[in-house]
Structure 1
């Protein structure tokens, strides 16, 4: 059972279930570095615990200029085939993986050498970081601890808060970036770089985030009632439409919906064109032979069409809350 406490020091998530995976990741930063590496990955599914990385890319930035790039396909251990939905979304086929996919340990080792100790930048970067963390720990028994910056967060809450749809596709179209390929990791990395530069121009080199204003509330999740007036607007789920699917392990469905309401979000029963987050129970994120839920299938189709919808599992949902509140 999870207890949510909202105090003067922020929201505290107390997990009484000790089986939850703990990732000792780097810090989520609200900064605008000039030297960094942008990353993006493509995967076989939604959960870093159950699914694999198919492609990883990075571009190295020095003094706001691209100086190098890295992009590789991976052939996961026990690989069989690329799920049809993933192939349709990314364009990565089974033959591409069989012909060009490298061994995960080799590719991830080269990736670690490429990024070094750089601050990582990405769009909805929590998804990428968690996949990389789990796979790097599996292959090398070491933790991926680079600090990271999320362009989605910077754009939505600070630089361009009036833009309703903050997906890479929509931002690329709004800013007339001319991007023609999406859901391939190298192309998405370059699109993220262009969006980062738009954010940098809007906020300025000397930007610092405003101080958060918090008020004291203390509740267990089962007692939470919606009170967005008492929550700062910069939490990742503020004013977001959130749907839960599958069996949750840390919350009941009702309590999860109450939590979203209490931090200023809007819980929804079903996925539609206004949905911003689909949160899947961890076990339900283990996709086998294309066995997605109807909500997951609909969300993936909407994402392919450019909707600003993020598909995450329950653990990432909790970590996103915790990372925001540690800032």
Structure 2
């Protein structure tokens, strides 16, 4: 009887040791699809801290027409809304999705914690920032229409990353990057009768994918009016151009709000719009010649590209 008890005790001890070893081995494997939760604490949930990389345009310090923002503001001061989705890397299936929502806290980053029930594995995170709603998202939210109906865009931000979620990797930091640029047009010495402008910029990409790939060239159009101002600044948020010096800026200026016949039409200008960059033009009206000297800002120097004295 004593030998039977000893053998039983030895067997139980050996079984316990083997169980512990198996648990240790399993927990060390990154390819395990889920935690072993029997009689164990819950797995650490996957947490993502989202920050903003492009708080200002990279060349804002060289452009007097644009005032830079402080780099220490709350997250929502740069990106007021967010959308995110988490996909299974192997199948592309959306595991969790949050449609466009307002960011209301005053923290410098925005944190997302996924359900503890999420299995260990490899996932793809896509985050869009700055959208008004979900209507601009297509292709299962992997593509964003920046210029719907050829209109001006918004300050849109994006981050797309592949994450490995296991016991050693439960907390990630990702940073949003701006996908658009901005065109600034300063017009100086305008006649007081001129109160309205329309402009078009062609060869601008209409859409951007989750991989920062720009597609579908179009022409973007915008109108502006003002009461009285001899010097005005017009701005347009645009996707990048299709190539070097591919976009043509065409500007019409009208007396009052009469849009029938332009009072002034400066020469067209070739530009290159780039992501997260300010492109600046200056039109200086010469009353005697009834035309414009036109400049482009290159680094921090205004370079003359259309000279009335020569032409």
Global fold match (TM > 0.5): no
**Greater strand proportion:** 2
Alignment TM-score, normalising by the size of structure 1: 0.23
Structure with greater Cα Rg: 2
Alignment TM-score, normalising by the size of structure 2: 0.24
**Greater helix proportion:** 1
